[in-house]
Amino acid sequence: MANENSRTGGFGAWLLDPKRRGALLVTPAITILFVMNIFPLLWSFGLSFFNYRASSLKVPTFRGLSNYERVLTDDKVWERFQTTAIIVGSSVILQLIVGFLLALMFAKAFPMRRIVLMLVLTPMMLSFVSVGVFFKLFYEPTFGVVSYLLSNFSDDRFVVLGTPAGAIAGIVIADAWMWSPFVMLLVLAGLVSVPKYLYEAAEIDRASSWRRFWTITFPYIKSLLLLAVLFRTIETFKLFDIVYIITEGGPGSSTETIAVYLYRTAFQFFRTSQSSALAYIVLFIVVVLTNLYLYAVNRRAEEVD
């Protein structure tokens, strides 16, 4: 018995040895990462080469690259990519413009600045579902506030979501409303980092406002702007919740993003292998964008150094 106790104690001591403590501490995180992320990732990669359907008892057979071929030659997929590109492009540009203007406003002191700043930041703290529901009601043509306000100027109700262009605009506005404050925060960080003496020197040199902005302000914020563009592009590329709630991809399929289509393929049509192949293509695009993002971060770090 005494020997057994000492053996137990010995194992405990061996395990808690400072040399192993680091590994011991990260083991739970790595285990969770493996179980929740890496294994499903590898498993779904494997599935993408079969003809598996989660709703069927049929034994899946190996199909090689046929799922990838089918996805890449499917007109619907390319239509969804086009829709995604339009929404991403419009939304990111709008976020940049609004975020930039907000940052310029908050870079200066004014009464109640802190309270207003807090209010402006609120949208990005809300859940996607809340924002989606909020804008859906906002756009509702019978009793929604947009239609109600505009009914003072027209006999007809204003139907935002009745046309493909209107529906895309509705989604872009909702997404930009939510995420412009994020762009603002990044740009504001750049603006406050500009040394004041540069502006003083420019004033002495009687430089115009535009020249001051272009030669002093912009160089300080351009990497942060690039960061904002990339970060928001990656996020908007995966846009699902707001689209699904506001339009469900309609009218027709005119606002169905690639993320919504992927969801339908996987969880409504149960084309599990085909959706895995599509998911890997989307992942590849996101990885490329993420690398650009990391490149921008490194460049910014070099500039700061």
Partner 1 sequence: MRSLIGGLMGATTLAAGLSGAPVAAQDITITMAAPDWPPTRFMKEYFDQTYKSPNGGNTVLEMDFIPWPSFYERVAASLTSGEQKYQMIVTDSQWLGAFVEGGYYMNLTDKINADPELKTIMQDLHPALVSAYSTYPHRTRAQLEEAGEVPAPGVNYYGFPQFPDTYVTYYREDIFCHDGEMADFEAKYGTNLPCTYEDWQDTDWAKWGQIGEFFQRKKGEMLAGETLDDDFYGIAYQAGKGYDFSTMQVNAFVWQNGGDIWDESKAPEAQAEGVVNSDVAVEAFDEYLSYLQYMPPVAQTGQMDIFVIQDLYMQGKVGAIIDWVGLGEPVLDPSASKVHDKSAFGPAPGTRQADGSIDRTGNIGGQPFVLTTWNSDEVVDEALNVVKWWLSPETQLEAVKNGGQSGRMSVMADPVYNDLRPWNRAHVEMIDWQKDVWHIPEFFEMLTQQQEEFDKAITGQITAKEALDAVAEFQQELLEDGGYID
Binding-site ranges for partner 1 (CB under 8 A): 54-57, 139-143, 147, 151, 155-157, 159-164, 167, 247-254, 264, 267-270
Closer to partner 1 by Cβ: residue 60 or 251: 251
92 touches 236 (CB < 8 A): yes
In the complex, least distance from residue 47 CB atom to partner 1, rounded to whole angstroms: 13
181, 118 contact by CB (below 8 A): no
Neighbours of 249 (CB within 10 A): 20
Q: Count Cβ atoms below 10 Å from residue 278 Cβ, excluding itself.
A: 25
Please identify, using beta-carbon distances, which residue of 90 and 247 lies nearer to partner 1: 247
Q: How far is the CB of 248 from partner 1 (least distance, A)?
A: 5
**249 vs 145, 228, 271, CA distance in Å?**
22, 26, 19
Q: Shortest gap between Cβ of 267 and partner 1 (angstroms)?
A: 6
Nearer to partner 1 (CB atom), residue 48 or residue 255: 255
Q: Residue ranges of the alpha helices (H) in the chain? A: 2-15, 18-33, 39-47, 66-72, 75-106, 113-125, 128-139, 145-150, 164-192, 196-204, 209-212, 218-237, 241-246, 258-263, 272-304
Closest to partner 1 by CB, 202 vs 262, is 262
Measured from the CB of residue 164, what is the shortest distance to partner 1 in angstroms?
A: 7
Give the closest residue to 191 by CA, choosing from 99, 123, 112: 99
The DSSP secondary structure of 32-46, one letter per residue, reads HHIIIIIHHHHHHHH
CB of 94 to partner 1, least distance (A): 22
- Which CB atom, from 27 or from 151, has the smaller least distance to partner 1? 151
